[in-house]
Amino acid sequence: MIIAVDGPTASGKGTIAKRLAVHFGVPHLDTGLLYRAVGRQVAINEGDPDNESDALAACAFSDDLLDDDILRSEEVGGLASRVSVHPAVREALFRRQRAFAEQPGGAVLDGRDIGTVIAPDADVKLFITASVHERARRRWLEMTASGFGREIEIPLDEIEKDIVARDARDIQRADAPLRAAPDALVIDTTAFDREQAFETVLEAVKEALQAG
């Protein structure tokens, strides 16, 4: 059983995907983390994230990097969004994601193109979204809790601007842009707290699995 969870930045898709994986007893892959590792590796290499060869070279990051908390920072998120526009980078990361999706017993993957490119054969496809303002508010709370926001004191409106820029880049890129698959269940969590969002999604997934 493959569950694909796509959606824009800070939509809550990661938390939802993790909880779905626990609920169904299958492994979970946060595919954004792979792009974040590439973005971080470009910075370590002192390369240019907008240059396709520099970004491709950074795909040879060491798996230890995936455990580095710095990957969660806004700065690395921005680098990830920039390296992710290059087709060579997407191709380099494809096999790893596809192999994860195909493992026996199934998996939950979250990202931008899981339902459209990585696992178009997924049993359930979700597209989790929320308003820009609400996503900025959630990201700000998250950053404050993690310490990144506390130290840097990034104002909410700057986070909102950053989210708008990131959405635009993710939606407008030519290769595997962020969009809901035609058969995805689109769930807007703007008015929900974490618990309500998860319950709504879980019900929708159960219904889809029964119907499918």
| Angstrom distance (rounded) from CA 131 to CA 191 | 9
Q: Which is nearer to ligand DC, 45 or 211 (by Cβ)?
A: 45
Contact call for residue 112 and ligand DC (CB under 6 A): yes
Examine residue 77 and tell whether it contacts ligand DC (CB under 6 A): yes
CA atoms of 93 and 2, how far apart (whole Å): 18
Which residue type, as a one-letter code, is found at position 155?
Answer: P
Torsional class of 153: left (φ above 0), alpha (ψ -120 to 50), beta (otherwise)? left
In the complex, what is the shortest distance from the CB of residue 211 to ligand DC, in angstroms, rounded to a whole number?
A: 26
Q: Is 74 an interacting residue with respect to ligand DC (CB under 6 A)?
A: no
The site for ligand DC, by CB under 6 A, has a size of 14
Q: By CB under 6 A, tell whether 9 contacts ligand DC.
A: yes
Measured between its terminal Cα atoms, the distance across the chain in Å is 11
Alpha-carbon gap, residue 131 to 68, rounded angstroms: 29
Stretch that binds ligand DC, among 16-24, 29-37, 98-106, 127-135 (CB under 6 A): 29-37
Segment 113 to 172, residues that bind ligand DC, using CB under 6 A = 113, 166, 170
- Residue 124 gets which letter from DSSP? E
Residues that bind ligand DC in the complex, under the rule CB under 6 A: 9, 31-32, 35-36, 77, 80-81, 84, 111-113, 166, 170
